[in-house]
Amino acid sequence: MKHLLLGDEAIAQGAIDAGLSGVYAYPGTPSTEITEFIQMHQARRPEGQDPIFCRWAANEKTAMEAALGMSYMGKRALVCMKHVGMNVCMDAFMAGSITGAHGGLVVVAADDPSMHSSQDEQDSRFYAKFALIPCFEPSNQQEAYDMIQEAFALSEAIHYPILMRITTRMAHSRAVVETRENQPKQNTMSLPENVKHFILLPAFAKKNYAELVAAQPEFVRLANESAHNSYVKGSNPKKAIVATGIGYNYLMENYKEEMGCSILKVSQYPMPQGLIDQMVKDGAEEILVIEEGQPVVEELMHGLVPSTIAIKGRLTGDLPRMGELSPDCVRLALGLEALPTREADNLVVSRPPALCVGCGHRDVYASLNEVLAEYKNPRVFGDIGCYTLGALPPYQALHATLEMGASITMAKGAADAGQHPSVGIIGDSTFTHSGMTGLLDCVNSKANVVIIISDNLTTGMTGGQDSAGTGRIEDICMGLGVEKDHVRVVVPLPKNMEEIKQVLREEIDYNGTSVVIARRECLQTLKRHLKAAKKN
Amino acid sequence: MKKDIILAGVGGQGILSIATVVGEAALNEGLYLKQAEVHGMSQRGGDVQSNLRLSSEPIHSDLIPKGGADLIISLEPMEALRYVSYLKPEGWIVTSNAPFLNIPNYPEIEEVYKHLEAIKNHVALDVEGLAKEAGAPSQAANMVLLGAAIPMLGIDHDKMIAGVRRVFARKGEAIVESNVAAVEAGYKNGIKL
């Protein structure tokens, strides 16, 4: 069957067709659609098919650990996240490379070079190398569909997790994908042959780690023989090109037969040393590395070929050091002239994203700004979500925004240093993702902070996914030890402005840890809910 | 056959519904297709674009090179200008002439029109007006643009109309007909090669 699928959707369909038993994920651009596709598939699941667990996890670490649990029980599990989610789950991810996998375990990391929707650029291939496990990097949507299935099979064959690394343009680009017809069958429950493999006491872990290190040559052999890695000798083999993942597409977009370069396509790591040796034997004197993300392969190549061979790429300036590849920069790196075109039009001004008109976050910032104008040198620490846009005009309400959960703990650190007022502002989903432990720290030291939880009852920025703590935010705060009198709830609407301001004033003036929950449903999900209600 | 198309607009305007119809018609023709979309933060009222590539041969890059686009279809006039460096020298712009004003420093609209005029192959339409005249709701404005672009899409008029009918079929006969009428209105006032 042929389908028009996003790269994310091709991965989801491939995982379903591979007999997936559970997907574990926290939403994050550009990875969100993998889990959403599986959820939609489950809602329409044909009768008789085994269910796939697909409820959102509280964060990437809980997701990774649950997936390890499912793998331990012999079933196939998928973990999906954006690149920065890898940082959150890293403890579990690294441990998983030492325990190994029983049921197939595949981790999909969706990197966002050029930071379209992120706070940094990271290349998750580093993490696969760090953990010494194989990494798959498909070059197109069809390969993504095929490779995710192979990843589950390989994970079970070698008893290790597999990392699949994709980037924005793969995740969010549609192409025709041909899918298999056969009925997926899930694994039955079973325990690992050696259950001690999952007990990482130092004595056991040392043995496991030695096994993982000893398996490395086998992983290289697998990469040499992978159907997704290929080497083609050119008519002028002095010039060679290594193209990885979607870098290969930009190469082929521009490549002309008469260039005669030898071409090594890499979609499975570790680097296929056998194919590289052949490229060197064929007389390569200069190798251009075309890779999306950071110069991971370019650096590695220096250790994989004789030092007389020149390695070119992002580090040498032949390709840009930062940001996404484009057909244009690869064209120039190949020595071709740019296509004739017009200059960019300088009349055009930037149009940054903004909070929706009528959004509750707006009322929170409007009231907060008015109250803080009454104090000397207030500091407001923001977090990750739609409300990060409060840093931009018209509100310009935030003094810092780092990563998930940092609003609470940075506000605490600033208060510890003597800052007052020290305000943290965080969304409900981000709060349950990474804010709760920070709030416990605040309570334990009676930190003089006001934490505003702008609760829109959803994970808004990524399109309105379920939020882990909906309906229980007050209970969670009080359970963590925030005093009942200092857990305040307001409804962020213009008509309530005076009341909200009064609550904020009172809590800023209280010398201790306060939480102000500003609760009103996200307009986007509200629209969807009203539409669905009308239909019924 | 090979057509590279940039769809442009402001987050929330619905540029992807144009891509859905073109994609449906292209698949029905057995063409290769790649369509890179923008998801995430920009969808909140920021500038958004989608690269749509159609070809009778396999397509490699998900992105259109600078100077490679045959056509820019834009739901907003300044957004059309944002991508002129991607347009082939002889490429076409088909755009709505209605500015979307959600920024304080939007340039003088007369200046925007002047810059559009400077592009030889361009069509700027009052898409909402044309939709209304055709008896379609203003939400069908993007179908007016699609109709105006048909001669540059590499898929002929009748096949595109059939695509519109298939895409909207599950929404009922009335919606199918009003969208078809919107496409026809755009076609009548659109690109003339």
Kindly state whether A527 is in contact with chain B, defined as any CB-CB distance less than 8 angstroms: no
Give me the amino acid identity at A375. Y
The set of residues, in sequence order, having a beta carbon less than 8 Å from that of A9 and lying 6+ positions away, is A33, A34, A37
Q: What is the pLDDT of residue B144?
A: 97
Q: Find chain A residues with C-beta within 8 A of B37's C-beta.
A: 6, 172-174
Residues 393-422 of A with CB under 8 A from B: 393
The one-letter amino acid at A490: V
Whole-angstrom distance, CA of residue B77 vs CA of residue B74: 7
B132 to chain A, minimum CA–CA distance in Å? 24
Confidence at B39, pLDDT banded by 50, 70, 90: confident
Closest by Cα among A295, A290, A287 to A322 = A295
Q: Which of A248, A339, A345 sits opposite B84 (nearest CB)?
A: A345
Q: Which residues of chain A make contact with B40, given a CB cutoff of 8 A?
A: 29-30, 116-117, 461-462
- Put simply, whether B63 touches A (Cβ < 8 Å) is yes
Decide if B14 touches A, using CB distance below 8 A.
Answer: no
Tokens of A499: 């009341």
Percentage helix, strand, coil, to 5, in chain B?
45, 20, 30
Contact A352 B112 (CB under 8 A): no
In Å, how far are A533, B9, B91, B127 from B118, measured between CA atoms?
49, 20, 13, 21
pLDDT tens, position by position, B73-127? 999 999 999 999 999 999 999 999 999 999 999 999 999 999 999 999 999 999 9
Question: What are residue A427's DSSP bridge partners?
Answer: A454
C-beta atoms surrounding B90 within 10 Å: 8
> Would an 8 Å CB–CB cutoff place B92 in contact with chain A?
no
Q: How far is B87 from chain A (nearest CA, A)?
A: 7
Alpha-carbon distance B134 to nearest alpha carbon in chain A (angstroms): 26
From B44, B82, B89, residue closest to A340, measured CB to CB: B89
> Is A238 within 8 Å of A284 (Cβ atoms)?
yes
Looking at the complex, report in whole angstroms how far the Cα of residue A113 sits from the nearest Cα belonging to chain B: 14
**What distance in Å separates residue B152's CA from the closest CA in chain A?**
19
How much is the pLDDT for A47?
84
Q: Say how many CA atoms lie within 13 Å of A143 toward its Cβ.
A: 24
Q: Strand A230-232 and strand A262-266: pairing? A: antiparallel
Report the residue of A334, A351, A523, A525 to disrupt the B interface, i.e. the one with the largest count of B CBs within 10 Å: A351
What is the C-alpha to C-alpha distance for residues B167 and B23, in angstroms, rounded to an integer?
10
- Answer yes or no: is pLDDT of B139 > 80: yes
* Residues in B touching A173 (Cβ below 8 Å): 34-37, 51, 62
Q: Which residues of A touch B106 (CB under 8 A)?
A: 349
Best of A4, A29, A170, A174 to disrupt the B interface by mutation (most B CBs within 10 Å)?
A174
Tokens linked to A141: 């949507």
pLDDT at A526: 95
Inter-chain contact A351–B107, Cβ cutoff 8 Å? no
Nearest-angstrom CA–CA distance, A451 and A476: 14
Query: Which of B40, B82, B86 faces A29 most closely, judged by CB atoms?
Result: B40
Separation between Cα atoms, residue A411 and residue A381, nearest integer Å = 6
| B178: contact with A, CB 8 A cutoff | no
Contacts of A114 in chain B (CB under 8 A): none
Q: Which of B38, B44, B60 sits opposite A386 (nearest CB)?
A: B44
Nearest neighbour of B44 by CB, restricted to A328, A350, A354: A354
E strands, A333-448, in order: 379-382, 400-401, 422-427
Across the interface, which of A29, A342, A350 has its CB nearest the CB of B39? A29
| Contact between B65 and A331 using a beta-carbon 8 Å cutoff | yes
Q: Which residues contact A287 (CB under 8 A, 6 or more apart)?
A: A240, A241, A242, A279, A301, A305, A309, A310, A311, A312
Closest-CA distance, B154 to chain A, in angstroms, reads 18
What part of B 145-164 touches A (C-beta under 8 Å)?
Answer: none
Instruction: Write the residue in A348, A355, A356 that is nearest to B78 by C-beta.
Output: A348
Cα-based distances in Å from A313 to A139, A228, A292, A344, B66? 19, 22, 11, 27, 21
How much of chain A exceeds pLDDT 90, in percent?
A: 96
Give the one of B27, B43, B112 whose C-beta lies nearest to A347's C-beta.
B112
**What is the least distance, in Å, from the CA of B59 to any CA of chain A?**
8
**ipTM value:** 0.94
In the block, residue with structure tokens 């990469």: A223
Instruction: Report whether pLDDT(B41) > 80.
Output: no
What is the number of other CB atoms lying within 10 angstroms of the CB of residue B158? 8
Q: Residue B33: which of A4, A347, A349 has the nearest Cβ?
A: A4
Of B32, B85, B104, the CB nearest to A342: B85
For chains A and B, CB pairs below 8 A equal 149
Distance separating alpha carbons of residues B53 and B137, to the nearest angstrom: 29
The verdict on B30 touching A (C-beta cutoff 8 Å) is no
Tell me which chain A residue has its CA closest to the CA of residue B80: A348
Stated pTM of the model: 0.96
Q: Do A176 and B32 touch (CB under 8 A)?
A: yes
With an 8 Å Cβ cutoff, are A176 and B27 in contact?
yes
Secondary structure of residue B140 in the 3-state scheme = helix
Q: Which two tokens stand for residue A529?
A: 């809910």
CA-based nearest residue in chain B for residue A250:
B61
pLDDT tens digits, A118-166: 999 999 999 999 999 999 999 999 999 999 999 999 999 999 999 999 9
Mean pLDDT of chain B: 94
Residue A181: per-residue pLDDT? 81
Question: Residue A370 burial (CB < 10 Å; 0-12/13-18/19+)?
Answer: middle
Give CA–CA dist A260/A192, Å, rounded.
50
Task: Encode pLDDT of A176-192 as tens digits.
Answer: 999 998 778 999 999 99
Distance, in Å, from the CA atom of A181 to the CA atom of B30, rounded to the nearest integer, reads 20
B98 inside 8 A of chain A by CB:
no
The residues that bridge with A382 in the sheet, in sequence order, are A401
Whether residues B68 and A463 touch (CB distance < 8 A) is answered with no
Instruction: Give me the percent of chain B exceeding a pLDDT of 90.
Output: 89
B33–chain A Cβ distance below 8 A for any pair: yes
CA distance B34 to chain A (A): 5
Q: Which of B60, B66, B79 sits opposite A339 (nearest CB)?
A: B66
Sort out which chain A residues have CB atoms less than 8 A from B78's CB and list them: 347-349
SS3 assignment, position A218: helix
Kindly give the confidence (pLDDT) of every residue in chain A, 536 residues in length, as a single tens digit, with 9 standing for 90 and above.
889 999 999 999 999 999 999 999 999 999 999 999 999 999 998 888 899 999 999 999 999 999 999 999 999 999 999 999 999 999 999 999 999 999 999 999 999 999 998 999 999 999 999 999 999 999 999 999 999 999 999 999 999 999 999 999 999 999 999 999 877 899 999 999 998 999 999 999 999 999 999 999 999 999 999 999 999 999 999 999 999 999 999 999 999 999 999 999 999 999 999 999 999 999 999 999 999 999 999 999 999 999 999 999 999 999 999 999 999 999 999 999 999 999 999 999 999 989 999 999 999 999 999 999 999 999 999 999 999 999 999 999 999 999 999 999 999 999 999 999 999 999 999 999 999 999 999 999 999 999 999 999 999 999 999 999 999 999 999 999 999 999 999 999 999 999 999 999 999 999 999 999 999 999 999 999 999 998 87
